[in-house]
Amino acid sequence: MRMNLDGQLALVAGVADDQGFGWSIAKALHAAGAKVILACWPPAMGILTKSLDRGKLDMTLPGLSEERTEFKIEKIYALDAVYDSMDFVPEDIRTSKRYQDVGDFTIQGLKKRIKEDFGDGALTIAVHSLANGPEVQKPLLETSREGYLAANSASSYSFVSMVREFSPIMRKNGSFLCLSYLASEKVIPGYGGGMSSAKAALESDTRVLAYEAGQEYGHRVNSISAGALASRAARSIGEINKMIDFGAKRAPLKSALAPKEVGSAAAFLCSDLASGITGINLYVDKGMHAMGLCPEGGL
Ligand SMILES: NC(=O)c1ccc[n+]([C@@H]2O[C@H](COP(=O)([O-])OP(=O)(O)OC[C@H]3O[C@@H](n4cnc5c(N)ncnc54)[C@H](O)[C@@H]3O)[C@@H](O)[C@H]2O)c1
């Protein structure tokens, strides 16, 4: 039995460099046989395309396949997942330099472009690997209504919108995946601004979407609760190194989490090997979630 994604088209939304989970997931999906398209937040598009042009990104593939050794990206699209359609985009964003010349960067725009470029029913996998909480450094008690709603709009409603919009253009029995974090269910000081609430919503929505998209389309919807990683987004939290050190000292498995471990778990969940799995939250965190009391204190 082999993980085989030959003939599949996978979208990974939320990639701007090779440091985060999205990149590792995209590489694992490609290594297993899928064609991969990426969606990148318009303000980060320049970083991604320049790094690719200059050969600065790690294109080596994990050893899931002997035939494929280098990561090939079919196409990169702009996506701001806070907007469902251009009707909702405020004037200052529309006219901002970073949003001009990238085409329709909304979720519906991306759907239309994928359909035009690859055909109706070509997409089989969609991964949501994005989050944004403008007040993430503030404790919940100090978070404004605006900051809280912005975190939930970018980090959880965006997944609901993606599943709604992409489901009809996806081949039957497709697979959706999103990325969550332990802060959804345990208190993680420093993970503020409503981001913990956004992750709790994301996990709950995963279950409801699994039911609804499963009934209507046969699609599967799952989440991965990943351990801490010093990605670009996580570095903006400020406390990320503390979270990584805490896990390294106290998790059942002592080695630091490698993003490729999340990549291979994601490829498995999106493959036929997981055809009976939907509505789950899979922990890929070296076992950190299982701890109640740690020998060195904490938790
Ligand atoms: N790094 C961690 O410790 C950790 C742990 C568990 C879960 N996660 C989750 O993994 C996912 C990927 O994050 P990462 O840590 O790999 O960081 P990352 O910086 O690689 O990815 C986050 C991406 O989100 C994009 N983004 C932000 N706002 C957006 C918007 N409105 N529309 C479209 N894209 C937008 C950013 O440009 C970035 O590419 C996120 O959901 C994150 O919450 C991260």
pLDDT at 266: 98
Per-residue pLDDT at 88 exceeds 80: yes
Dist. CA 177–CA 41, nearest whole Å: 18
Q: Does 272 score more than 80 pLDDT?
A: yes
Answer yes or no: 254 catalytic: no
Give the distance (Å) from ligand 1 centre to CA of residue 115. Answer: 25
Q: Is the pLDDT of residue 62 over 80?
A: no
Please report the pLDDT score of residue 69 as a whole number: 82
What is the fold of 9-287?
A: Rossmann fold (3.40.50)
For residue 205, what pLDDT band results from cuts at 50, 70 and 90? Answer: very high
Average pLDDT of the chain is 95
Q: Which atom of ligand 1 is nearest to the CA of 232?
A: 19
Q: Is the C-beta atom of 31 inside 6 A of ligand 1?
A: no
- Ligand 1 centroid–CA 130 distance in Å is 4
Percentage of residues of the chain with pLDDT beyond 90 = 88
For residue 131, report the distance from its CA to the centre of ligand 1, in Å: 4
CB atoms within 10 A of CB 217: 17
Measured in Å, residue 1 CA sits from the centre of ligand 1 at 32
User: Is the pLDDT reported for residue 161 higher than 90?
Assistant: yes
User: Is 96 annotated in the active site?
Assistant: no
Select the more confidently predicted residue: 241 or 182: 182
pLDDT of 66 over the 70 cut: no
Q: Is the pLDDT of residue 233 over 80?
A: yes
In this prediction, residue 246 carries a pLDDT of: 85
- The per-residue pLDDT for 294 is 79
Choice between 254 and 259, residue whose per-residue pLDDT is larger: 259
Cβ of 81 closer than 6 Å to ligand 1, yes or no, is: yes
Q: What is the mean pLDDT of residues 55-81?
A: 89
196 lines ligand 1 (CB under 6 A): no
- Structural domain spans, the chain: 9-287
How does residue 139 score in pLDDT terms, banded at 50, 70 and 90?
very high
Position 296 pLDDT exceeds 70: no
How remote is the CA of residue 231 from the centroid of ligand 1, in Å? 8
Residue of 27, 35, 111, 199 marked active site: 199
Name which residue sits closest to atom 20 of ligand 1, judged by CA: 20
Q: Which of 18-22, 149-153, 252-256 has the lowest mean pLDDT?
A: 252-256
Q: Which ligand 1 atom is the nearest neighbour of the CA of 182?
A: 6
Residue 298 has pLDDT above 90, yes or no: no
Q: What percent of the chain has pLDDT over 70?
A: 97
Given 24, 129, 155, 156, the catalytic residue: 156
**Is the predicted pLDDT of residue 65 greater than 80, yes or no?**
no
Q: List phi, psi (to 5°) of 279.
A: 75, 15
Average pLDDT over residues 60-67: 73
Helices 158-166 and 195-217 meet at what angle, rounded to 10? 20
Q: What pTM does this model have?
A: 0.97
HEC string of the chain? CCCCCCCCEEEEECCCCCCCHHHHHHHHHHHCCCEEEEEECHHHHHHHHHHHHCCCCCCECCCCCCCCCECCCCEEEECCCCCCCHHHCCHHHHCCHHHCCCCCCCHHHHHHHHHHHHCCCCEEEEEECCCCCCCCCCCHHHCCHHHHHHHHHHHHHHHHHHHHHHHHHEEEEEEEEEEECHHHCCCCCCCCCCHHHHHHHHHHHHHHHHHHHHHHHCCEEEEEEECCCCCHHHHCCCCHHHHHHHHHHHCCCCCCCCHHHHHHHHHHHHCHHHCCCCCCEEEECCCHHHCCCCCCCCC
Tell me: pLDDT of 94 over 90.
Answer: yes
Is residue 154 within 6 Å of ligand 1 at its C-beta? yes
